Structure formats: structure tokens, C-alpha cells
Chain A
Amino acid sequence: MNSYIKIKNTEATLGGKVKDLDATANGFSIVIRDLVKKYEDVTAVDGVDLEIRQGELFSLLGPNGAGKTTTINILSGIVEPTKGTAVVGGYDVRKGLNLVKTIIGVCPQEAAVFQFLNARENIELFGNLHAIPKTVLKERTDRLLDTLDLREASRRKAKTYSGGMLRKLNLIIALIGDPQIAFLDEPTVGMDPRARRATWEFIRSLKNENRTIILTTHYIEEAEALSDRVGIIDYGKLIELGTPKHLMAKHETKNLEEVFLKITGRRILEGI
């Protein structure tokens, strides 16, 4: 089953901006219909249909170049789709992108931070871009630095950080705007096992706050441990969708990694 409820692409204007009232009413944070992204002769995303509920932790898995990051880039407004619709938090990304940006937080694959600023200054800079009041920003910064165990190093320039610390800062910046929907693209790459487990707990706590989390990861055990549902994407197509348990039962495997290898094995064997 790759959809909960078939919704109509009905659009209405709300405050002068386009809002998909059906998607919001049905409790979906994200609704994607026939999404296509082409780069010249390469189709990075090829007709993806998907709904993600509010408060759901959804993992998008796939081999390198499968279309995961492109999908996230479309949903966060970085890349325009070639065809299809993407509704995020009730707003169409083509017509209501400014509103989409007020409710999302994006943790990119690379640690995109200002290396010559310290952690607090980086967080403050991005907090200002979200127009967060000063007192709220300080309180939120302290809380996130404490939670991710980065407070002690928060006055050090980011260029002196280890890979794992940069990842934590990357994650904090994504969450400083208190987003309803968070896109976490490989958030734990480069972290040691202890930091990774702590980050898992943190990601779980975000879900418990009823935020929608869209996670992409190459650590399949991470997806298995955290996700409500998993989508496997390959050659730009969503080829499998369901809960980890459902997928393991369907493919008669002991863990999600075996499911992943079974489904995407052809590509891996081809060495692509």
C-alpha cells in the first residue's frame, strides 16, 4: 500500500497564498504527486507519489544517486521540479515557497556552517534569518547545545571542530527555527557510535514533539531503529514503501538491510 488516502489536488487560496486544504485536513505533512526532476538527459526523480503524515518519522533510502537528496531538495524549495506537485505543510512548493520555508528545517548532507564563526554565532546567524526574537533564540540555542552536548565548545570557531561536532552543529542549525517538518539528510555521517546513538535519541525526541521528520541515511540500521515507515528509491522511482516490519515480512528477511540489498542489489552488482 503506497498511500493512505487518495487525495485530490484541490487548491484554495488562504491569505493570498496557495494552501492545499485537502492535504492539511487529512493530516498529511507532505503530499507528493507524480514528481519528476530531469537534468538534461538524466531523470533524477521519476514520477514519485508519496504521502507523509504529520508526526511521522519517514526514512528515504536508496543507493548513491538514487534521487533521495533531489527529492528533499525539491521539498525544501532548493530545486524546482520538472513536473508534478509537492505540498509541504499544506503549501505548494511552487506557489507558496515562502510559507514552506517558515515551517521547515533542513540539515544538509554536508556540514554547511560558517567555519570562522563559533557555534553560537552560527546558530544566532541562522536564527536571525528565521526572525526569531532574541530571548527565544538564546533559550533555544542553550537548550539545543545542551541536548547535543556542544555547549562547552560553543565559543570555539567551527573550523576547530571534529567531523562529529560539525554534524551536531549542522543539526542544531536545522532545528533552530523550531520547524514542524525537518529534513535530515545523512545527519549522523562522521559521528562515532556513541554520538550517533545520542543523536538517534534526539531525533526520536523530535518525533515525540509531533514533528514530521524526513530522514535519508546510508545506515540502514539507523532507519530501522528510528522510522515509522521507510521508502526505498532507486533510479528516481519509489520502488518500496512500508513499515520496517512490513517490508521485512514481505521480503522474508531478518533485517531492513537485507531488504535494501535484495531490492537494490541489481544496481550494486552492476557497480553503479
Chain B
Amino acid sequence: MGLKKLIRQPAYLFLMLLFPAVLTLMFGLAFGDPEFGMDINNLVPGLISYACIFIIMTIAQSFSAERQEGLLRRMNTTPMTASEFMGSHIITNMVIAILQVVEISILALLIGFRPDSGWEGVILALPVAALFSLSSVGLGLITATISKTPEAATGVSFVFILPQMFFGTFIPLTNTTRQIAAFIPSYYMVDALTLIFRGDWTNPSILFDVGVISIVSVIIVTIGILLFRKYGNI
């Protein structure tokens, strides 16, 4: 039902499913040509990460809208516990992240995506994306805590989206920006997916990247839940 209430809203549906599709086709067709020095195989990890990053915005908007409309308050009067409530949102967004990986991979396949790993790589990317989505849920909750309205949440969410775009996802990193990127979760996500799609599964960097994503995501989502419960729930 959590997924249904998001899918029924055109804005969220766009962000969750249409936006990654449009992004994949546009970037794939525009830049996924070796003539540009890129190919679609190198773009897919960034596209998947980018789609997952936008969960920040859907979480922030939906929580602030539900708060504004008195829905959070109303749900607080039901027997559902706070952990069940947060748990359902986390699971819903993990499912969304997994759907996004499948969607992007299929569309990318149509325009030439051929990972060295084969489909096993895509399957391995699913749990990594689900883990990474945790950090986006956490940042979304922090955004909703700070923002009074859904409109404000949209703007504030870019505080967390832009650094992940510029220092981890799409823009090639220099020595300086790589040092900044070391503190950005999406950097590890893109690195992990790149190695996974290359089929370089014995590379210890994958374990390191997944470890960082796991630890950082758990920390961020815990902070997000605590802040939202204390300051953002009413």
C-alpha cells in the first residue's frame, strides 16, 4: 500500500519510474557513444546511482506533505508503531531502488548496454542499490525535518542531491574533487557498480565499497529517523 500511495501521485511516479527511464534514454543516446569517450556500459552505474539519489526528494516531499495534511498525526493514533511505520517506508524505497535498477538495465540493454559481468552483475547490483537507497531515505527524512512544506522540501533536498551528483555520479573526478568524493556515499555506489558490471568480482574494492555504503547508509538512516521522530513528526 505504501508503494501504491506513491505511484498514484503523478509527481512521485515521474521521479521514481519515468525520470530514470528518460534519463537512461537521453544520456544513453546523447553520450553513450565511444566518439564522446564514453559508452553506455560506463554510464549505467551513474544512472542507477542518480535515480536512487532522487529517492531523497520523494521521501522529503511525501513526508512533509503527509505532515502538512495531518496524515502523520492521524497515523500516530493507530496501533502501528513508529518502527513499523519507518520500516514500511524503508522497505518500500528499497523495492523502488530495485525496480529502478531493473528498469535502467533493461532500457540500457536496448541501447547497447552489454556488461562484462552478464546479467549476474545486474542481479548483484540489486542488493547494492537497495542498501544505497537507505542513505537516500535517511537524507530525505533529514530534509523533511528541516522543511516546513513539501515545496520547501523540494528545494532543500538539492542540498543533498547536488553534491552526490557532482562528486560521485556523473562528473569525472579530479584529484581534488576525489578527496571530497571520499565523503559522498554515491561515489562508493558508482565505484562498486562499475566493478560489478566489469565482472571484476574478486576485486577487494567491491567489498570495501559495499562496506562503506552499508555503514554510511545505516548511520544516515538512523540519524534521519531520530531527527524526524524528535523534531519533524507533528
Q: A-side interface residues toward B, CB under 8 Å? A: 76-78, 98, 101-102, 104, 106, 108, 110, 112-117, 121, 124-126, 128-131, 157, 173, 177
Contact = CB atoms under 8 A, between A and B. Distances in A.
Contacts of B230: none
The 5 A-B pairs at the shortest CB distance, nearest first, are namely A112-B70, A116-B8, A129-B78, A106-B77, A112-B74
Contacts of A112: 69-71, 73-74
Contacts of A129: 75, 78-80
Contact of B78 (A113, A117, A124, A177): A177
25 contacts: A76-B77, A77-B77, A78-B76, A78-B234, A101-B78, A101-B79, A106-B74, A106-B77, A112-B71, A112-B73, A113-B71, A116-B5, A117-B5, A121-B4, A121-B5, A124-B1, A125-B1, A125-B5, A126-B74, A129-B75, A129-B78, A130-B79, A131-B79, A173-B74, A177-B79
A46 B1 CA distance: 41
Contacts of B202: none
A110 B69 contact: yes
Contacts of B176: none
A102 B79 CA distance: 5
B9 interface: yes
Contact of A110 (B70, B78, B234): B70
B81 interface: yes
A108 B1 contact: no
Contacts of B70: 108, 110, 112
Contacts of B77: 76-78, 101, 104, 106
Contacts of A104: 77
Interface in B135-165: none
Contact of A117 (B8, B73, B80, B234): B8
A88 B4 CA distance: 34
For this complex, into which size category does the number of interface residues on chain B fall? Answer: 10 to 19
A128 B75 CA distance: 11
Contact of A126 (B4, B78, B81): B78
Interface string B1-38: 10011001100000000000000000000000000000
Interface string B44-68: 0000000000000000000000000
B4 A117 contact: yes
Interface string B66-101: 000111011111111100000000000000000000
Given A114-B71, A173-B74, 16 more contacts: A77-B77, A78-B76, A101-B79, A106-B74, A110-B69, A112-B71, A114-B5, A115-B69, A116-B5, A116-B9, A121-B1, A124-B1, A125-B1, A126-B74, A129-B79, A177-B78
A231 to B, nearest CB: 21
Nearest to B9: A116
Nearest to B8: A116
Nearest to B80: A129
B76 to A, nearest CB: 6
Contacts of B76: 77-78
User: Most A CB atoms within 10 A — which of B8, B69, B79, B234?
Assistant: B79
Interface in B172-199: none
A236 B51 CA distance: 50
B197 to A, nearest CB: 36
Contacts of A102: 79
